[in-house]
Amino acid sequence: MGLGVLLYLLFCINYLLLDRQGSAVLAGGLQLVRELELKEEKDAPFLPEIPPSGSPFPLYPSLAPSPLSSFINISTPKLSGQCTLNFTSVDSLITTTATDCFAAFAPFLANVICCPQLDATLTILIGQSSLQTGVLSLDPVHANHCLSDIQQLLSSRGSELNLKSICAMHLSNLTEGSCPIKDVNSFESVVDSSRVLEACQKVGPVNECCSRVCQNAIEEAARKVAARGNGLTGSGGIEDMSEKEKVVSCRRIVVRWLSRRLEPGPAKQMLRQISNCNVNGVCPLVFPDTGKVAKECAQKIENHSICCNAIESYVSHLQKQSFITNLQALDCASSLGMKLQKMNVTANVFALCGVSLKDFSLQVSGCLLPSMPSDATLDPVTGVSFTCDLNDNIAAPWPSSIQASTSSCNKCIQMNSFVLRLLQYQSRNL
């Protein structure tokens, strides 16, 4: 009996990777996608031999076996009974979040899919519950119970248990923080609410990142609310600091109010689109010291293969960190390129060594996520799957001095030229 359970767990952790060709229409332009399936190997005739100290997971070095025991079965969550949020009103949202943050994948999808989805779910939960309470926040005691209940609920549907630390969940994600206004009536008396609603009820996937129509409306409303109850304040340093915090807190109140006015589906769409704009603006990877690469590749490169080995070894460290989007990969390539240039690497070593954009993402058959990633899906038979950008074999661009600054305007140009390059790539390969 005991052996049976052990064998089951070992089968569970032995993932099979399958590629499947598919297509989808995304962000107004045609994009080919590859669906990546992470599959449970059920019929493995033999157990894999697990090295005594090393990791048994060639693809996910830090996979822990224990959470996988909840691969299929939904368990009953232990709820506190003290949380006033109405979980049933956003039931499907919670299921989606549990899949986006599924067990061992959560850390690798945290930045782009899991945490933005969790964030949206918390916001919508409060927005929807304000329909009953008239308040856009929870007090700290209830917030504490609710945070714990949400984690219970999500993990009972398969999510990673430790989302609190992976996604930096704080009380402030549910409370009013330092925002002076929390009830709906006061909010609507201060803010031009129809204007905010107008700006945010139809957020375009590409346009919003450039025009920031909804984001600017949220920002303006947050500043208005934050200034309420201020009276006359000076502009001292400490004052400015708490002023900034206030605006951050009030921004949360504004998006909760929006989630009250919109249905959960459109609210989620809006929140994720906005978060995509922010996610794509920064490279989330941590860059180790580039000294070794610089040593082999700086100035006149003596031996190409030694330099490229150093690059490959360096990039292989980046590949263990996270799934990233195609636009993030552009950011990452540019960050690494500039770091190397600062250390006197003058040759385009990306071209020299054949580094492509997908080399910056987690290497499970080279999956680069689309810039507007969709949610992961869970099928009890085939497992968790999510969509990858098939056009990921694009050479990593070596930064030139012209594109030094990355303002939001540059970002738009970058995004458009990226789409253009994708199309060129496609027509070449069709």
Residues forming contacts to ligand NAG in the complex (CB under 6 A) are: 69, 73, 86, 88-89, 115, 118-119, 122, 132, 167-170, 172-173, 303, 305-306, 343-344
Nearer to ligand NAG (CB atom), residue 115 or residue 390: 115
* Least gap, CB of 81 to ligand NAG (angstroms): 13
Q: Which residue type sits at 20?
A: R
CB-nearer residue toward ligand NAG: 36 or 154: 154
Least Å from the CB of residue 198 to ligand NAG? 25
Name which of 183 and 245 has its Cβ closer to ligand NAG. 245
- Asked whether 226 and 250 are in contact (CB, 8 A), the reply is yes
Residue 363: burial class (beta carbons within 10 Å; 0-12, 13-18, 19+): middle
- Could you tell me which of 396, 403, 421, 280 has the C-alpha nearest to residue 336? 396
Residue keyed to tokens 């006033």: 84
Query: Measuring CA to CA, how many Å separate 397 from each of 277, 319, 330, 336, 357?
Result: 21, 18, 7, 10, 8
200: nearest Cα among 257, 241, 239: 257
Name which of 62 and 346 has its Cβ closer to ligand NAG: 346
Pick the closer one to ligand NAG by CB: 132 or 416: 132
Closest CB 306 distance from ligand NAG, rounded Å = 5
CB of 191 to ligand NAG, least distance (A): 21
Residue 147 or 415: the one with the smaller Cβ distance to ligand NAG is 147
The residues pairing with 19 across neighbouring beta strands, listed in sequence order, are 36
Output the smallest distance, CB 144 to ligand NAG, in A.
14
Query: 193-200 vs 213-227: helix axis angle to the nearest 10?
Result: 150
Alpha-carbon distance of 85 to 121, in angstroms, equals 12
Between the two ends of the chain, the Cα-to-Cα distance in Å is: 54
Per DSSP, the residues of 287-308 read: PPP-HHHHHHHSSS-S-HHHHH
Q: Residue 158 CB, nearest distance to ligand NAG (Å)? A: 11
d(CA 115, CA 163): 8
Min CB(154)–ligand NAG separation in Å: 11
Is 195 or 292 the residue whose CB approaches ligand NAG more closely? 292
Strand, helix or coil for residue 234? coil
